[in-house]
Amino acid sequence: MAKDTFFQKKTTINAGGKLIDMTLPKVMGIINTTPDSFFADSRKTETDAILQQAGNMLSEGADFLDIGAYSSRPGAADISIQEETDRLLPAVEAIVKEFPAAVISIDTFRANVAETAIKAGAHIINDISGGSLDENMFATVASLQVPYILMHMKGNPQNMQALAEYDDVFAEVYDYFVKKIYALKQLGVHDIIIDPGFGFAKKPEHSYALMNRMQEFERLQLPLLAGISRKKMIYGLLGATAAEALNGTTALNTVALMKGANILRVHDVKAALEAITIFKATTLGYNS
C-alpha cells in the first residue's frame, strides 16, 4: 500500500442534502444573537441586524453561518433553555427564509435547542462541550443525522478557566477526541468535524502548544476547524483588544491553514478568504 494512501481523511460532509467538499478550506461566519459575546461587533440581537450580518457574510463568500444564542466567553452568565431558544429560533427562521441556500450551523451544547433549530432549517450542530454538558446530545445528533462539530472543553463557560491545567495538552485533547469519535461512530454519526477548542479551558500557552502540533490531528482522518478569531490568545499576546485583533487573527489563521485547518470560524469573512487565497497560491500554485 502506498504511504500516502494509508490514511484516508474524510473531506466531505452532507449538510441538508448538500455535499460539501472541504478539500479546499472553507469559512464559517459567526453571528451571535447574544448581548454579551466577547467581541462587541459580533452581537446581533435584532432580526434586521442578523439578516444584514448574514447577507454581508454570504456576499463576502462565507460557506457556513454559525449562529449562537448562548455566550460562551469565560465567566458568561448561564441562561435557560427557553431563553436560548427564544434568541436563536427567530434568527434561524429569518435566515432560512431570506437566504434559503445558506448552510447554517447552530452553536449550542443543548440537545433540545439543537433539535429545534435543525427542524427549523439549520444543518449542522456545533457543540463546544463535545456532548459533556448534555447526555442526550450524541443520540440527538445520531437521530437527526446531521454533521457535528466536536470541540474540546473542560467544565463549562462559568468555570472552564479554573480547569486550564494540563501535563500534556495535545495528548489530553487527542485522547479526548479518540474516545468521543468512537462513541459517536458507535451511534452511527457519519459527519464529524473536530475543533481543538482554542481558549476554552486553556491558557494562551496551551492554545499555542495545540496550534504548534495541530497537523498531528490529521491522524484522526476528520475535517479540522480552527476557531481563533479575535481571541485573547491573540490580543493578549499583542497587548491589544479584541477590536484591534484582526491583523493578528489573519496571521494565526494563516498558520492554522498551513497546519491543516479545513474550516476557519471567523468574525471577519473577507479577511479569512484573503488568507485562504494566499494559502492556495502558495500551496497549489499562483493563478491570477
Has 26 been annotated as catalytic? no
Q: Cα dihedral sign for 59, 88, 158, 211?
A: negative
- Segment 154-177 mean pLDDT: 93
Amino acid at position 83, single letter: E
Mean pLDDT of the 246-266 span: 98
Distance (Å, whole) CA 186 – CA 15: 20
Q: Which cell is 148 given? A: 457535528
- The secondary structure of residue 244, as a DSSP letter, is G
Of 110, 180, 231, 259, which one is the catalytic site residue?
Answer: 231
**242 in Cβ contact with 235 (< 8 Å):** yes
pLDDT tops 90 at residue 106: yes
Unique residue bearing C-alpha cell 479526548:
176
User: Beta 12-15 vs 18-21: how paired, if at all?
Assistant: antiparallel
pTM exceeds 0.85, yes or no: yes
CA–CA distance, 275 with 273 (Å, rounded to integer): 5
Architecture of the domain made up of 22-283: Alpha-Beta Barrel (3.20)
> C-alpha cell of 95?
435566515
- Say how far apart CA 160 and CA 233 lie, in whole Å: 15
Q: Which of 267, 199, 274 is nearest to 237 (CA)?
A: 199
Position 67 scores a pLDDT of 96
Which position has the higher pLDDT, 285 or 216?
A: 216
Domain residues of the chain, as ranges? 22-283
pLDDT band at 2 (very low <50, low <70, confident <90, very high): very low
Catalytic residue among 26, 87, 154, 265: 265
Task: Assess whether pLDDT exceeds 80 at residue 54.
Answer: yes
Which three cell numbers mark 78? Answer: 448561564
Q: Does the active-site annotation cover 73?
A: no
93 burial type by CB count under 10 A (0-12 exposed, 13-18 middle, 19+ buried): middle
Q: What is the mean pLDDT of residues 73-101?
A: 90
Write the DSSP string, 126-163.
Answer: EETTTTSS-TTHHHHHHHHT--EEEE--SS-TTTGGGG
The model's pLDDT over 125-154, given as tens digits with 9 standing for 90+, comes to 999 999 999 999 999 999 999 999 999 999
DSSP 31: E
